[in-house]
A and B are shown apart, each in its own frame.
Chain A
Amino acid sequence: MSGSVILNWLANTPDFAVPYALAALGLIICERAGVLSLGAEGLMLVGALVGIGAQIALGQPVVSLVLAMLAASLVSVLFAVMVIWLRVNQVIAGLALVFFCQGLTALVGSMADWTNHATEGIGTMALWPLSLLPGVGRLFEQNAMVWLTLPIFGAVAWFFARTSTGLRLRAVGENPQAADAAGIRITAWRFAAVLAGSALVGLAGAYISVVSTKLWIAGMTGGRGWIAVGLVIFARWSPWKALIGALLFGCIEALIPQLAAAGVQLPQYFVMMTPYAVTLGVMVWVALGKRSGDDEPGALGQPYVREERR
C-alpha cells in the first residue's frame, strides 16, 4: 500500500467514525441512567429519514440535523413511557422500538418518495493551521460535524465526571434506591436521559443520510445501531473509550473502499462482513478481559419501583 492510499484511508476515517461515536455517546447517556437502550438502530433510522426529508424540503443542513434530533427524541418518548412508566421488559421494548422505527421509516420514506433522492451535504472545514501542514494537512479538512463531535464528547465527559448533575444521573443508574432516598426523582432523570441520549442517536443517523451518503435508502443504517450497542459495552460506558472504539470501526469501514480503489481483489461480501465480525471479536475480547470491578451501571436494565423491596 502506497502512502497516498494510507493517507486517503486516514482522511476518510472520521467520516465513518462519527455515526458510531455519536450513537455510542447517546447510548452511554441513556445507559448511565440505568435504561438499557437497544433501540439505537431504529432511532438512527428515524434521524436519517427526518434529516433527509428536511434536507429535501428546506435544504438547510443545520435545520435538518436539529429536526432529526427532535424527531428521534419524540419517538423515544414511546420507549421511555414503556420502560419507565409501564415497566415493560427493556429488551422487549427496545426490540419493539427498532422494528417499529424500521417499519415506519420504510413506509414514510417510500410514501413520501424520498428514496434515492440525492441532496447537497455540508461543506468541509479546514482546521487552520494544521491543514497547511505538508502531506498530512488534508487529514484536517473534514466537514463541520466531525469537528463538532469533539466538543460534544468533551461536554458529555465533563458532565459525567465533573458536574453534580452528572453525578446525580450516574446515581440514578447505579443505585436508584439510594438516589431516591437522597431526593433525586428517578423517573424524571431517566426520562431526560432517554430523550437526550436519543437525540444524539438521531443525530448519528442524520449524519449518515444528510452528511455522508446524502440520500435515503430504507434500512440504510445497516446494523450500525447494534454495533454502537456493542461499542458501549466495549467502551465500558466511558465516553472517551467509546470515541476510540468508534475510530477503530471508522478505520475498518473506511478501509473497505480504499482497498477496492487500490485494486486489491477481495470477495466483496466477506469484506462487508468485517464490521460485524469485528464487533463480535471485540465483544469476546471484552468478555475475556473482564475485571472484577465491573463498570456496568448497577441498575442497568432494571425498572425502578419504589414500592418494591429488593
Chain B
Amino acid sequence: MAEASLAAMAHPAQTDMKTKTTAPPRMHQPLASRRYTLEIRQHMAWRWQALILAAALGVGFAISAAILVAAGVPADELANEFVVQTFLDGQNLRAVLFQAAPMILVGLAGAIAFRARFWNLGLEGQMVWGAIGATAVSMWQIGPENLRLPLMFAAAVGCGLLWVLGPAWLKLKLGVNEIISTLMLNYMAANFLLHLVYGAWKDPKDNFPYSPQFRAFERLPELGAGVGSAILLAGIVALLAWWLVGVSRVGLYLRFVDANPRVAHANGVPVRRTIYGAVLLSGAMAGLAGFAVAAGQEGRLTQAFYQGYGFSGILIAFLARNNPLAATVVALLVAALFVTGRSLQVFYQVPFSMVQLIQAIVVVCVASSDFFIRHRLRRVGADIGTNTAETAA
C-alpha cells in the first residue's frame, strides 16, 4: 500500500485518471498503443544465462531433429544414433577422438584470431598449406628418419603461418578487409592443392588424385587402444592456448586490444605486435590441423580433406566465446556430430551436408539467444495507452 501511494505521489496525473475510471478499458486496447522499450541489460546472473543458452540449444536441436526426421531418419532412432551409438560405443568413441584432433586445432585457431578482432576466415586455406608443407617434407625426404616427423610438424606450422601473414599485413598496414582477403586465399590454396594432387604429386602407383602414402615413421604414432597421438597433440596445444590467453601477459594484452585498441595503445600495450602475434599463431594452429589430418588420419595429401573445417572452426570459436578450454569441449561435440553424420549417411542415405546445416542452425539459435541475455523488454508508459484510449472514447 505504501508503495502504491508513493507511486501516486510521483505521478499525480496517473492517479487522477485512475480515480475517474473504475475499470480501465484494457480488453479493447490495441496492441500498438502499448509501449515497450528495449533496455540494455548490464548484468545477468550466470544461471539465467545458462538457461537461455540451454533453451537456444534446445530450439536448435529440435529444428535439426525435425529436419532429420523429414530427411528420412526414424524419430525414435535419433537419440540412439546421436548419444548411444556415438559416445557409448568404443569404436565410435575412438572415431570421435580421431575426428576431434584437427577439429580442436581449428577451433583454437579461430578463437585466438577472433580474440584479436581479426576475422580469420582463412582457416581452410591455412590448413591446406599446413598439409602441403608436411607432405613436402615427406615427398622430398628432408632430414633423417627420426627427425622427419618433427620437421613435418615445423613445416606445417610455418606454412600455415605464412599463408595468414599476407592478410594480416594487408589489414594492419593498408586496412584491407580480412574477411574477403582470407576467403580469397582459401580458394587459391584449394586450387593449388588440386594442382599438386592432380599433377606433380599424384601417386604413381594408382592414378588417383592424392600423394603417395607417407612411410610409417612419417605418421603420427598410436598411443594404444586405437587412439592416435594427434588428440594428445591437440590437447597439449589447447592447454598452451589456455595458458596464453588466460594466464600470460599476452592474454591480458589481447583482452585489452579486444576491448579498445586505442585505449590499449595509450596504455603502452604493443597493439600491432599483439594482433600480429595472435593472427600468426592462429594460422600456425590451422596449419597444424592440416598436419594432424595428413599425418594423423589420411597418411597422405588428399584433394578435399579440409572441407567443412573452416566453418566448424569459426562455429567452435563462436560457441566457446573464444575460450580455449570451452573450444576443446565444443570441438569434441562437433567431432561427434561429424561421426554421426557419416553413419547417418551410410544407414539412412542422409547427405553429409546435413552436418553443415545442423551446425548453422545451432549457430543461428545461439547467436539470436544472445539478444535475450543482453536486452530486456520492459513495458513503459502503459498508462499513456490507456490515456489515449480514454480521450478517443
Does B bind A?
Answer: yes
Q: Separation in Å of the A286 CB from the closest CB of chain B?
A: 8
Give A237-289 interface residues, CB cut-off 8 Å to B: 267-270, 272-273, 276-277, 279-280, 283-284, 287-288
Interface string of A81-118 (1 = CB under 8 A from B): 11001111101110110011011101100110000000
The interface centre, meaning the residue of A111, A280, A288 with most chain B CB atoms within 10 A of its CB, is: A280
What CA separation (Å) do A104 and B40 show in the bound complex? 34
Binds A, one of B23-31, B142-150, B176-184, B236-244: B176-184
Nearest-CB residue, chain A, relative to B355: A103
Interface string of B364-382 (1 = CB under 8 A from A): 1001101100110000000
* B37 cross-chain contacts in A, Cβ below 8 A: 307
* A78 cross-chain contacts in B, Cβ below 8 A: 364
The interface centre, meaning the residue of B40, B198, B311, B367 with most chain A CB atoms within 10 A of its CB, is: B367
Binds B, one of A127-135, A156-164, A194-202, A223-231: A223-231
Across the interface, A276 reaches (CB within 8 A) one of B184, B195, B355, namely B184
- Asked if A152 lies at the interface with its beta carbon under 8 angstroms from chain B, I say no
- Asked if B351 lies at the interface with its beta carbon under 8 angstroms from chain A, I say yes
Contact A107 B71 (CB under 8 A): yes
- Asked if B4 lies at the interface with its beta carbon under 8 angstroms from chain A, I say no
* A268 cross-chain contacts in B, Cβ below 8 A: 195
Contact A99 B311 (CB under 8 A): yes
Interface string of B165-195 (1 = CB under 8 A from A): 0000010001111011101110110011011
Contact A107 B368 (CB under 8 A): no
- Asked if B363 lies at the interface with its beta carbon under 8 angstroms from chain A, I say yes
Q: Separation in Å of the B68 CB from the closest CB of chain A?
A: 10
What CA separation (Å) do A25 and B388 show in the bound complex? 45
- Chain A interface residue number, banded: 35 or more
Contact A110 B371 (CB under 8 A): no
Interface size on B, residues (CB 8 A): 48
Contact A91 B184 (CB under 8 A): no
- Asked if A6 lies at the interface with its beta carbon under 8 angstroms from chain B, I say no
Contact A92 B367 (CB under 8 A): yes
Contact A106 B181 (CB under 8 A): no
* B199 cross-chain contacts in A, Cβ below 8 A: 267, 269
Contact B351 A96 (CB under 8 A): no
- Asked if B253 lies at the interface with its beta carbon under 8 angstroms from chain A, I say no
* B121 cross-chain contacts in A, Cβ below 8 A: 95
Contact A103 B38 (CB under 8 A): no
Contact B180 A283 (CB under 8 A): yes
Binding site for A on B (CB under 8 A): 37-40, 71, 119, 121, 170, 174-177, 179-181, 183-185, 187-188, 191-192, 194-195, 198-199, 311, 314-315, 318, 351, 353-361, 363-364, 367-368, 370-371, 374-375
| 20 pairs of residues in contact across A and B, judged by CB atoms under 8 Å | A96-B363, A96-B364, A99-B356, A100-B360, A102-B353, A107-B353, A110-B353, A226-B183, A229-B180, A233-B177, A268-B195, A270-B191, A273-B187, A273-B191, A277-B184, A279-B180, A284-B174, A305-B38, A307-B38, A308-B40
Binding site for B on A (CB under 8 A): 38, 78, 81-82, 85-89, 91-93, 95-96, 99-100, 102-104, 106-107, 110-111, 218, 222-223, 226-227, 229-230, 233, 267-270, 272-273, 276-277, 279-280, 283-284, 287-288, 290, 305, 307-308
